[in-house]
Amino acid sequence: MVIVGGGFGGLWAARALAGAEVDVTLLDRRNHHVFQPLLYQVATAGLSPGEIASPIRWILRRQANVTVLLGDVLAINCDAKRLRLSEGAEPGYDYLIVAAGARHAYFGHDDWRAHAPGLKTMEDALHIRRRVLLAFEQAERLAGAPDGGDPEGLLTFVIVGGGPTGVELAGALAEIARHTMRHDFRRIDPSKAAIILVEGGPRVLPAFSEPHSAFARGALERLGVSVRTSTMVTAVDGAGVTVRAADGSESRIASRTALWAAGVAASPLGAGLSAHTDRAGRVRVRPELTISERDDVFVVGDLATLAGPDGQPYPGVAQVAMQQGAQAARNVLRRLAGQPMRPFRYRDYGNMATIGRAKAVADLGWLQLRGYVAWLAWLFIHVLKLIGFRNRASVMLQWAWAYFSYQRSARLITDDEESR
């Protein structure tokens, strides 16, 4: 059988097949699995790529029934039961688990992508890191007009989207500007940087309770982030962002660095796989996680959409992807054993988001935490979930160092194309 994707869904599917009498081929475009909840730390120079990513084949090295191949799946032919890869090969499958994930959606404005990069892959994170660091470098180089404000928006950062990623990016950027870089510049004052978080809905962190949202907003504002809720983005270009407030008035924010943390579009593989997709391109799956056209094809994670017992679709988070991947794998094994498949049931372990240094909100269902205790819980859980001992130890060390020194370890601009 074949698994497409080495993210949380695909990897947990492969793990659930450990020891089973099946030959598994796992295909991914990249050689590494990324611990996505910490990607924003790479984007803001707090962690190095190697600390939150590991080679997929290394993670699965002890699982002799899994072959990991680097490959980009262009299309799936369900009739012929074959995949088509970019380099021309056409491997077949008997069972297929598709966990190809999602990218960012720009509400139909794909031209915004170049000006407001999203944060889904390691390349995205390194690109954002470069953009942010270069903005400060350029501001220092061009500084001269004494206290001329920031007319060109070099030190104005706009983050679009007030979900966990947007909140985490905004908090980390504020910390960099106010603390990390405090002594590093001679002509500019990095603490004067403007960090603006734009959210279309009435509050940040809409998936959390209202008190959590209010707490997060207050914490961000104390860090110096300007939070604009009920505000829609109507244009993005290289010089800035245009927004429309709730009262319908439009205004322009001069900014050279906009970051996109809103909107999700499923992998285009979904559309080729099934006619039943939702607006974001997610494939509507049956409770057993198969598609309605084929019961040998499973779709899991961000590429799938399935309503829970409350009628609401499951959220696009790592926990859902992991549990769906494992369930799809178990359903394959049940079919091979002649048993009926079982429907997916989600165990919700809760929801967390961190805000800058040493603050977080956590909604664990039975327990609501805010502030320092929530941050400790966040720290503990994320370090626990990182794959491999080395990564854990290294991340702990970085964080201890960052906490006591306010420094960030990975402030490197590395890219021939853009580094000058």
Given the rule CB under 8 A, which residues bind a copy of itself? Answer: 29-32, 48-51, 53-55, 57-58, 61-62, 64, 66-72, 86-87, 89, 122-123, 126, 133-134, 137-138, 140-141, 183-187, 389-391, 393-394, 397-398, 401, 405, 407, 409-416, 419-420
Beta bridge partners of 259: 159
Residue 301's region, left for phi above 0, alpha for psi from -120 to 50, else beta, is left
Nearer to a copy of itself, 58 or 346 (CB): 58
Beta bridge partners of 178: none
Of the listed 51, 90, 152, 168, which one is catalytic? 168
Structure tokens at 350: 């809760």
Distance of CA 300 to the CA centre of its chain: 16
Beta strands in 40-127 (DSSP E): 53-55, 66-70, 73-77, 82-85, 96-98, 102-104
DSSP assignment letter at 256: S
Residue 338's region, left for phi above 0, alpha for psi from -120 to 50, else beta, is left
In the bound complex, what is the minimum distance in angstroms from residue 34's beta carbon to a copy of itself? 9
Q: Is 247 helix (H, G, I), strand (E, B) or coil?
A: coil
In the bound complex, what is the minimum distance in angstroms from residue 73's beta carbon to a copy of itself? 11
Nearer to a copy of itself, 323 or 398 (CB): 398
CA distance 413 to 408: 13
Give yes or no for a contact between 320 and 307, defined as CB atoms under 8 angstroms apart.
no
CA distance 335 to 358: 48
DSSP assignment letter at 315: P
In the bound complex, what is the minimum distance in angstroms from residue 123's beta carbon to a copy of itself? 5
Give yes or no for a contact between 277 and 283, defined as CB atoms under 8 angstroms apart.
yes
CA distance 306 to 185: 51
Q: Cα torsion for 402, 403, 405, 410, to the nearest 10°?
A: 10
Beta bridge partners of 283: 277, 304
Three state DSSP letters for 177-233: HHHHCCCCCCCCCHHHCEEEEECCCCCCCCCCCHHHHHHHHHHHHHCCEEEECCCEE
DSSP assignment letter at 410: -
CA distance 291 to 298: 6
In the bound complex, what is the minimum distance in angstroms from residue 24's beta carbon to a copy of itself? 10
For residue 168, indicate whether it is catalytic. Answer: yes
Q: Which residues are catalytic?
A: 168
